[in-house]
């Protein structure tokens, strides 16, 4: 499947070949975006399409190949279908003809093991309706009755939309405030944004834009400036910000420029608290001090981008960690949602970027193998703050008031 570059909730459509999956996705999207045919196996690769659910918001529909595909090529299609389980927030399992067998049992088991909510849809119900016996069987297996549906006459279409809205996890579509619990009406927030070789031409990076919007949504004031302007600005204006947020790469400069009594954090740590596995990041960051000669560290980027000669993931973080620990350490960098080059157990530490280009579920799924294996995980910004000696200050805004604050700091 293509790399996840949409932060909208992802809804995957699964089932056997010729069960009506593509017809369902066309019905939901209101247009022909998936090829429909009487020949089984028409869909060969996952197909993604943005779709607006009225009263809910935008989602990404993911049409997949039949889970019962056969042969060597068919198995590759099945593998690609199963790969989408890492990125979806809700699954629609399409059945028809009152049929349920090993393929459906296997998918349902994968949904349950992956903590993926799912809806069973009995399609083509204009031809054959679900029997009472079938409904009872599905309730026994899944805990919920299948939805009788037909893309031909759109029966129960509104019921399906309501069911999607009720079933999809709240965190998949709710957008809690990035900074709302730290700022109040009229507060001034200083955003320190260096313009260097990694800055996109003529625009800001996504986390900076998100922070500006969040500050405005909270009726506060955002002041955006480069790191070399901070000292002169604060001296000239005598303004005392309620909060300062910096790009992690200039943490040390921001730390020296922003008064000690002004809370300071980074865009990456802001995102780590917003959608990352923050509690495990807090626990895992100090593991940097425990790295030994020959250890291997994995850096996970959520997107693909042009690599500069002084890239943050490939160059700067490895250089800073090596300098901090004084150890000979091997680093692997994996972009997007690509497969890992080696088993997760080969790594002593995993460092995840902010994840601005992927969903919360995708990010947590990306980290789950490491946390299950007991491998420490951290975040770009938190790792940078740690090796630069300002970790306590950088995470303090987000752990203030915690019952066991000493365990965090």
Residue 311 pLDDT grade (very low, low, confident, very high; cuts 50, 70, 90): confident
Domain count, the chain: 2
pLDDT in tens, 154-164: 899 999 999 99
Q: What is the dihedral angle through the alpha carbons of 202, 207, 210, 212, rounded to the nearest 10 degrees? A: -70
Give the pTM: 0.65
Q: Check whether 196 has a pLDDT greater than 90.
A: no
Better pLDDT: 1 or 283: 283
Range of the domain at 134: 10-173
Name, in order, each residue with C-beta under 8 angstroms of 66's C-beta and a sequence gap of 6 or more.
15, 16, 17, 18, 19, 21, 40, 41, 43, 77, 78, 81
The pLDDT value recorded for residue 249 is 87
Q: Which residues pair with 147 in a beta bridge?
A: 121
Question: How is residue 117 annotated by DSSP?
Answer: -
Residue 59 pLDDT grade (very low, low, confident, very high; cuts 50, 70, 90): confident
Better pLDDT: 400 or 369: 369
The pLDDT value recorded for residue 40 is 45
The CATH number of whichever domain residue 44 belongs to comes to 3.40.50.300
Q: Check whether 401 has a pLDDT greater than 80.
A: no
Phi and psi, residue 121, nearest 5°: -115, 120
Residue 26 CA to residue 29 CA, distance in Å, equals 5
Flag whether 316 is in a domain: yes
The pLDDT value recorded for residue 136 is 94
Together in a domain, 164 and 20: yes
Flag whether 187 is in a domain: no
Tell me the mean pLDDT in the region 166-187: 81
Q: Check whether 9 has a pLDDT greater than 90.
A: no
Flag whether 203 is in a domain: no
Mean pLDDT of the chain: 85
The pLDDT value recorded for residue 98 is 95
The pLDDT value recorded for residue 364 is 85
Task: Report yes or no: 212 and 156 within 8 Å, Cβ to Cβ.
Answer: no
Q: Check whether 214 has a pLDDT greater than 50.
A: yes
Phi and psi, residue 139, nearest 5°: -60, -40
Q: Sort 315 into a burial class: Cβ within 10 Å, 0-12 / 13-18 / 19+.
A: middle
The pLDDT value recorded for residue 14 is 95
Flag whether 260 is in a domain: no
Helix axes of 206-217 and 267-275: crossing angle, nearest 10 degrees? 70
Which candidate, 154, 179, 116, 210, places its Cα nearest to that of 28?
154
Task: Report yes or no: 98 and 131 within 8 Å, Cβ to Cβ.
Answer: yes
Continuous H helices in 84-180: 102-113, 132-142, 157-167, 170-173
Q: Check whether 99 has a pLDDT greater than 50.
A: yes
Final residue in a domain of this structure, among 148, 173, 198: 173
Q: Check whether 333 has a pLDDT greater than 90.
A: yes
The CATH number of whichever domain residue 310 belongs to comes to 3.40.50.11410
Strands 188-192 and 118-122: unpaired
Tell me the mean pLDDT in the region 355-382: 88
Residue 206 pLDDT grade (very low, low, confident, very high; cuts 50, 70, 90): confident
Q: In 185-341, where do the E strands start and end?
A: 188-192, 221-225, 243-246, 264-266, 296-300, 330-334
């Amino acid at each position: 499947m293509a790399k996840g570059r949409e932060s909208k909730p992802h809804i995957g459509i699964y089932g056997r070949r010729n069960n009506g999956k593509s017809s369902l996705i066309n019905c939901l999207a209101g247009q022909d975006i998936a090829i429909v045919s009487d020949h089984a196996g028409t869909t060969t690769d996952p197909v993604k399409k943005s779709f607006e659910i009225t009263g809910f918001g935008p989602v990404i529909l993911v049409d997949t190949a039949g889970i019962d595909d056969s042969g060597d090529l068919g198995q590759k299609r099945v593998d690609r279908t199963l790969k989408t389980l890492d990125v979806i927030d809700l699954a629609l399992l399409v059945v028809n003809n009152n049929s349920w067998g090993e393929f459906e049992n296997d998918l349902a088991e994968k949904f349950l093991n992956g903590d993926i909510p799912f809806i069973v849809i009995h399609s083509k119900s204009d031809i054959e309706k679900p029997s009472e016996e079938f409904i009872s069987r599905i309730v026994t297996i899944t805990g919920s009755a299948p939805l009788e549906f037909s893309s031909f006459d759109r029966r129960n279409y509104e019921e399906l939309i309501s069911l999607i809205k009720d079933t999809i996890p709240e965190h998949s579509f709710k957008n809690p405030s990035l900074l709302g619990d730290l700022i109040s009406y009229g507060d001034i927030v200083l955003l320190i944004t260096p313009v260097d070789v990694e800055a996109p031409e003529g625009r800001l990076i996504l986390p900076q834009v998100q922070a500006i919007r969040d500050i405005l949504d909270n009726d506060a004031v955002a002041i955006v400036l480069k790191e070399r302007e901070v000292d002169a600005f604060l001296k000239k204006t005598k303004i005392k910000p309620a909060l300062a947020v910096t790009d992690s790469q200039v943490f040390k400069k921001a730390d020296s420029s922003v008064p000690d009594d002004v809370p300071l954090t980074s865009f990456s740590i802001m995102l780590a608290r917003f959608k990352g596995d923050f509690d495990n990041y807090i626990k895992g960051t100090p593991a940097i001090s425990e790295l030994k000669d020959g250890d291997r560290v994995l850096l996970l980027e959520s997107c693909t981008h042009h690599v500069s000669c002084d890239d943050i993931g490939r160059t700067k973080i490895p250089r800073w960690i090596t300098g901090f620990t004084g150890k000979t350490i091997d680093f692997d960098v994996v972009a997007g949602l690509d497969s890992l080059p080696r088993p997760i157990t080969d790594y002593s530490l995993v460092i995840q970027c902010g994840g601005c280009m992927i969903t919360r579920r995708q990010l947590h799924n990306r980290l789950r193998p490491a946390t299950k294996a007991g491998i420490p995980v951290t975040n770009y910004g938190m790792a940078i703050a740690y090796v630069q000696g300002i970790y306590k200050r950088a995470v303090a805004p987000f752990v203030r008031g915690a019952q066991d604050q000493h365990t965090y700091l």
